[in-house]
Amino acid sequence: MPKVAKVKDRWKTKVWIEVLAPDIFGNVSIAKIPANDEQSAVGRIVPISYYQVNSENPENNNIKLYLQITKVESLKAKTIVKRVEYAREVYRSMIKRGSSLVEWVGDYKTSDGLDVRVHISLFTPEKINWSRMHKIRLAINKVLTENIPNLTYDQLLEQLLRDRTLIDKVTEEAKKIYPVKNAVLLSLKLITKLVKPLEAPVQ
């Protein structure tokens, strides 16, 4: 009688990695993911809601953080914020008829040498012409250019997400040109590559 080959259960050979939020969010545990070994988890992207690490405001559910694993020791993974994104469906609902949307995307370098791409959107209560839109874009860039080089990456996250200091500064500068109804960080991307992904992102 022919021997039947045993099918290996690949899950039994996996290790489970506890993913910790970045230092700025208190290194709280936010997920557990399987990996072949500790090293193979380095570089993987783990998406979470900002509300998971800051539940002070229900609107934080509208912000998604993409955390990249930078180091694993004793089955615990350290991470950094690789990308921040505002919920597109909520963002689209802010665009009202009779108002204007002014967007700015720019690349900057933090004081600790990290390159970032910032995408900010402002909404005016009424339609404005191209000339005013252009002036508002210049105003946004002025505030970001003056502030980001003096901030570490963690401080930048703090001022864009938690206390919104930088968003408020952008709003105040734009209001010198035309009233602003709302301002949001649509996205933030860490351009500097700190680690090389080894596996596909966790979905």
58-85: pLDDT as tens digits? 999 999 999 999 999 999 999 999 999 9
Integer Cα distance of 38 and 42 in angstroms: 7
Element (H, E) at 94: helix 88-94
Q: Which amino acid is at 188?
A: L
Domains for the chain: give ranges and CATH numbers.
11-86 (no CATH), 88-190 (3.30.479.30)
The pLDDT value given to residue 202: 46
The tens digit of pLDDT for each residue in 27-38 reads 999 999 999 988
The tens digit of pLDDT for each residue in 176-191 reads 999 999 999 999 999 9
Report whether pLDDT(134) > 80. yes
